[in-house]
Chain A
Amino acid sequence: MSDTTGYLDMDLLRLTTAGSVDDGKSTLIGRLLYDSKNTFDDQMEAVESSSAKRGDENINLALLTDGLKAEREQGITIDVAYRYFATPKRKFIISDTPGHIQYTRNMVTGASTANLAIILVDARHGVIEQTMRHAFIASLLRIQHIVICVNKMDLVDYSEEAYNAVVEGFKQFASRLQNVVDVSFIPISALKGDNVVDPSENMDWYKGSTLLYHLETVYVGNQENHVEARFPVQWVIRPQSDEHHDFRGFAGRVAGGVFKPGDEIIVHPSGFTTKIKKIYSAEDEVEEAFSPLSVTMTTEDEIDICRGNMITKTNNLPEVSQNMDAMICWFSESVKLTNKAKYIIRHTSNEARAAVVEIKYKVNINTLHKIEDDKDFNLNDIGKISLRTSVPLIYDSYKKNRATGSFILVDPQTNETIAAGMIV
């Protein structure tokens, strides 16, 4: 039999793609899927027949990713779509985020779970305002790796000068960004396939890796926080059966650090302390639990613990407070951000009411300048606010921990998600 165990050792890379409307995102994803042999015959037949129907000259690989009827009719992407492919080295999850009117909202959504962002730049136009927006959002959401794909190299005669101009343009801008850990540049043609999966024969001057090779080899182990131990309680397991009469387990997903049986723990916000008795992964007892594992813990002492509480170790404590500052991205066209309204805040496994104490500033995401005279938040606006919540939240800064530093705001009237927040 063939060796199927190899697949069990694969790791996972979550990536997001960003670019302006005609930068060729869908074509790039289609090309990645097609050239890495992750497409199927019946899919390709459907794409061929759709391409013919639209009168496209070549097989339009972008159609591999365009999902809904309205999108194909209008040639746009409406909403974040998720794509999957695998090579023998890695499994990949792509959040494909569209570049139309709700695009900041969509890119923030796609970026929130990504380890890597691909930002497409049209080699003919160079670094434009939108490139800077995309890079700003990627850095705001603290994506570890950014890959600038200089696309449409075929339209600039595969010119090294055109490529270098983009690289220089981006570097100048990126010096103003915070948080960016790792930026790579790759000249590609998604349409023709240069440097996507196969090395280009048209760009001898480029000695770096292809996009796929980069995606397969980039180090992804650094996204999780393994220092500050955090365990938001999602659910209390009480079987109340004869066999497990006294069992009381606290179920959740480790959001940071490492927990072991015998560890001294503190429950927030009550402040009670005890020790971990056992840690279970379903039926099995485990010796340690780290993020992002879902486990169930039991404690030495019977203390009151419920959903919304957070278990941590006794060192490196989180903030426990009703007041916090945050960067937010506003998602609603109809609901306004005001300091009169009460919103619902969802943070880890907790839900509370939240009021805006102060709107500090908005960010002009093209120039990164602060706007302090216009504090009207509209769809896609990003800025800084101060919040007060009805109960204490147990949090860290987003910089320290993505899981305990993030929240959403919900409009209590419509139940719509109206903002994403990152605690400063």
Chain B
Amino acid sequence: MENYNLSHLKQLESEAIFVLREAAAQFDKPALLFSGGKDSIVMAYLAHKAFYPARIPFPLVHIDTGHNFAECLTFRDAFVEKYKTKLVVGSVQKSIDDGEAKEETGANASRNALQIVTLLDTIEKNNFDAAGGGGRRDEEKARAKERFFSHRNDFGEWQPQNQRPELWNIFNGRKQHGEHFRFFPISNWTEMDIWQYVKAEGIELPSLYFAREREVVERGGTLLEVNELIQPRDGEEVKTLMTRYRTMGDATITGAVLSDATCLDAIIEEVASARETERGNRADDKRSETSMEDRKKEGYF
């Protein structure tokens, strides 16, 4: 008898491709949410694999907070060019200008929650009936309860207490007019799986993920790189430190971590011995114990 065991990465890849193909088949106008972060890059790369040699049958949707890491935008445009996909940009700034969203004020203001308005608006204006996200269940406790196919009511809300049971790999994407779905092909991946896969497949990522010397200030326990969005405040000292990013969020609040990991092997080793969760450096999750749960219910990614 030959050995027909698959490695965990191959099993996860196969599962993600299965989910992406189900989404393409079950929905009329699905899209993929693309932030330029590693999870959405891996998801889009898997979509390329799932439908090769045809093009990715989903437009990429970027919810642009206006608070971007410049490199993520360059990376996004290069990705769209390489895989010849369509790009749809929803602008948070425009939602603010149109009076649909209100900018937060105060010391730790961010545009994270404002993305909900822009996201739901973009889904509605483009008639998308499903939006794929790179959310992973290991990221956060509210995400641990997500389905692969996650139903949203006609207000775009997630109802965690009233989810459809999801058995075997049979997905129920049926919905009423006005409702939509989110789908999460890499639900079962961990941060470690992502990095191992990036290495195994040679997937390109923004250099923000790799350590180099950066000028940073420490604010609220988080290291923020000094750039056009972050200027040192009174009493804050600018230091030059070896840092990298573990996640890409709103650039005004997403912190870098101290790290010497300049290559993938070093990152994998670092992730293996990490003592903090990857979202530990995101001020949006620190607001309260339920901040992700609250945002998700309203329609967040």
Residues of A within 8 A of B (CB): 1-2, 4, 7-12, 40-43, 46, 50, 66-70, 72, 78-84, 86, 90-91, 93, 105-106, 108-109, 112-113, 221, 224, 226, 234-235, 237-241, 243-244, 247, 249, 251-253, 258, 280-283, 290-294, 296, 307, 331, 344, 346-347, 349, 402-403, 406-408, 410, 415-417, 420
Contacts and interface: CB of A to CB of B under 8 A. Distances in A.
A247 B53 CA distance: 8
B262 to A, nearest CB: 11
B107 interface: no
B7 A253 contact: no
Contacts of B52: 237, 280, 282-283, 296
Interface in B78-110: none
Given A81-B144, A81-B145, A224-B4, A109 B166 contact: yes
Contacts of B49: 281-283
B15 A11 contact: no
Given A10-B8, A79-B145, A40 B266 contact: no
A398 B17 CA distance: 24
B5 A11 contact: yes
B160 A68 contact: yes
B188 interface: yes
A1 B266 contact: yes
Given A40-B274, A292-B14, A82 B53 contact: no
A4 B280 contact: no
Given A12-B11, A234-B22, A346-B170, A4 B164 contact: no
B295 interface: no
Interface string B173-197: 0111000000000011010110010
A293 to B, nearest CB: 5
Contact of A307 (B18, B25, B172): B25
Interface string B3-28: 11111111111110110011011000
A162 B160 CA distance: 40
Contact of A234 (B5, B21, B168): B21
Contacts of A68: 141-142, 145, 160-161, 290, 293
A282 B10 CA distance: 13
Contacts of A112: 167-168
Contact of A251 (B50, B165, B176, B289): B50
Contacts of B3: 221
Please give me the 4 A-B residue pairs with the lowest Cβ-Cβ distance, nearest first: A282-B49, A67-B141, A294-B17, A415-B174
Interface residues of B, number: 69
29 contacts: A40-B274, A41-B275, A69-B290, A79-B145, A79-B163, A80-B145, A80-B165, A82-B145, A82-B187, A84-B138, A84-B188, A90-B8, A221-B3, A234-B18, A234-B22, A237-B54, A244-B54, A251-B21, A291-B4, A292-B11, A293-B10, A294-B13, A294-B50, A346-B170, A349-B25, A406-B167, A415-B174, A416-B164, A420-B165
A416 B188 CA distance: 24
Given A66-B141, A82-B137, A347-B170, 12 more contacts: A7-B268, A12-B8, A40-B277, A42-B276, A67-B144, A81-B137, A243-B53, A251-B21, A294-B50, A407-B170, A420-B165, A420-B167
B172 A417 contact: yes
Contacts of A108: 165, 167
A26 to B, nearest CB: 12
B4 A415 contact: no
A252 B161 CA distance: 32
Contacts of A78: 145, 160-161
Contacts of B13: 294
Contacts of A307: 25
Contacts of A12: 6, 8, 11-12
Nearest to A296: B52
A28 B269 CA distance: 28
A4 B160 contact: no
